[in-house]
Structure 1
Amino acid sequence: MDNALLDALRRHEAEFIALRQDLHRHPELGFQEHRTAGIVAGRLRDWGFEVTTGLAGTGIVGTLRGRRPGQGAIALRADMDALPIHEATGLPYASERDGMMHACGHDGHTAMLLAAARHLAENPDFGGTLHVIFQPAEENLGGGRAMVEQGLFDRFPCDAVFGLHNEPGLPVGHFATRAGPMLAAMDSWAVEFRGTGGHGAMPHRATDPTLAQAQFLLTLQAAIGRNIPALEAAVISAGYISAGTPAAPNVIPASVVLGGTARTFRSEVRDILERRLRELAEAAALAQGCTATIRFEAEYPVLVNSAAEAARAADAAAALAGEAAVRREAAPITAAEDFAYMLQRRPGAFMMTGNGTSPDGVLRPVHTPLYDFNDAALIHGAAYWVTLARRELA
């Protein structure tokens, strides 16, 4: 374990915890991270980075050259955006923006990479070039894709790119990755069921789309167990349902809209899910005398770690934390990440770092109103970034 590096980073730990909590207090949604981007750019400039702003609107790239000779270049990436969730943690630094919160730990990811950037700027004992990428709009909006399409790797060439994400339940100071597919592809879907609607007291005079919606949603889950091979991974979930109004509970609505996401690792499985979703929606609509309008769209691709870079990332984590704290063949995760777009253009690897559990011992998953990034994990993520950069640019 590299205690010397951890001790060196701990000299500024309180500063970066305060920064993380400030970002948590002021969350910003995708492509709106103006305050966050301003803080990031200002800090990087203060530490001597060359700073480029405006990629994908609010994206930031900082560039630092080591004092040793070398022609290599790598990029380290963190995401900055929050989610449209109302926070329920009751923390002293809870979100001050109604309906927004850092429910996935991007405030922590930003702070970890900034802490590493400061240390490397003060100790540039590496050769070649380091790029630190602060990406907007990871949550469903494709900020990573936008940065790539706007010439990220043409303007900032690199030999490899690396990402890092916290994982609740994995102990603090532990790490997990794998070669090959690590995170799933994500597709979005939406269905609108339309009927005539009617009076709640006379449903026999109406065509009721709420029944079609209910039947569809229940049978949709059967597609996983009965249409997808048992050894394949697939998830399909509804994220919203909208119909009627509380002001008129005696009205059967004429329309019900619902939608969600589908997660798969192979295109053949995705095709099965899309086909069954369409068939089940149309059948449910027909059974109730309604119609169905269906949308199924590809969003993020499968995140695939290149084998060599995944091995080197795991080696860096083991050099920092010890081999026992590194899971080199972690199970794939059915969540999605638009870091996948960067890995389509450059070899690299995505790493999970432990976020532990809440102080009461309860696991608080990401994307929930009670989640909070664990500040005890910040120093370990920063140390991983420093270790990886030094090893890649030795």
Structure 2
Amino acid sequence: MSHDYDVCVVGSGAGAGPIIYELSKAGYKVVVLEKGKYYKEKDFKKDELTTSLRNIYTPDLREQQHVVELPRGDGWRSKPTYNSGWDFWNGSLVGGSSNFMSGFFHRLKPVDFRQLSEFGPVEGANIVDWPISYDELEPYYDKVEKVVGVSGKVVDHPYQEPRSSKDFPYPPTAEHPIAKYIDKACEQLGYHAIPMPRAIIPRSDKGRTACSYSGYCGAYGCSTGAKGSSRAALIDQAMQTGNCEIRTESMVSRISSDEQGKITAVEYYDKQGKQYAVDAKIYVVACQAIETSRLLLSSSGPKHKNGLGNNQGQLGKNLLFAGGGAGSGRLTYKSLSSDEALELHQFGTFINRSIQDWYVIDDKEFGERQKGGTIDFVHLHPNPVSRASRQINGEQGLLWGKPLKDKIHEHFTGGRYIKVEAFCDWTP
């Protein structure tokens, strides 16, 4: 039986990109169905109103809503996102939300693959050990770092995972002077400040331009291609093989299957609302956890009464996000010498520091041995509109006129903020 394509991939984000890249490079004919548009470097602007406040890269919630269920009393309350304003869309375009990541590229560690064995069960959670080990996955970590383009420096610390390569493929990006303050403080406290690995290249390579240190990285598309998004690092390369076709603004609605349960086609609508079907030897659904589950649940068939791949009733369950929290501190210029203050005025370079001393918490004062996480130090997001709008309240209530202007001026000119982000596990 002949097919139009070897492989049909639904989605083009971080999950789909490596598959598209590998199969296209290997000579297979690949078609990608992507709901969003194909934005390139020239299309990404440092425009806070467009990017952060109006969300032009995500669908209108009135057209493509999700339904969120929250516990209430003895039952659940359902509310569509176009009413609640909750937005689970992170990026509807070629490359998905990887276009807007900050590029933190920490590996998992051996302990992450055996959390049930290491820490025991958690009441109400579905924790299991992985069916594979870190050692089995390590060669692929190494390959991804090379292909995506990860910069950094490997240093010895208590939770450094085993590596087959001595260092990252690219040296660290330029660092802000704040990094040395963190290094000094950690040394005095007995902690280990480690350079943060990032999927950002500090020098031009593989058709991508080096980081320009604009200061607008996380939540913004990269206008140089330095950030290793699925599009910039993988899909653009796949397109150069001539084996990859991307159909943008193509909304997949259903995966059809026959009486034997075999997939026969992927059905989708173009931007004019016209329906099409794609026939391939192999189908890959990689359109983010929520949308992948929704598509499969919507694709019932003669052998898949409860949705495609849902014979065990687990499809759409055990959803994971990233747990954590954040705080911030400030280095005021008036507390520093004139030279130190001038040095901190530098804009655009990265702090690039992390701490993993609490990756596993083994301290009886905090209870039983338990899984911890990673602390990252970054700049406060530069968005001037949202930062200024948060200055409207004073000790006596709403500020107006000169008091408001003075507070905004002091906020932006009186020092440099350091944001502290903690990342840990979200139990299924």
TM-score past 0.5 threshold: no
TM-score range normalised by the length of the shorter chain: under 0.3
Higher helix residue share: 1
TM-score (norm 2): 0.26
- Which structure has more relative contact order (CA 8 Å, sep 6+)? It is 1
TM-score (norm 1): 0.27
Higher strand residue share: 1
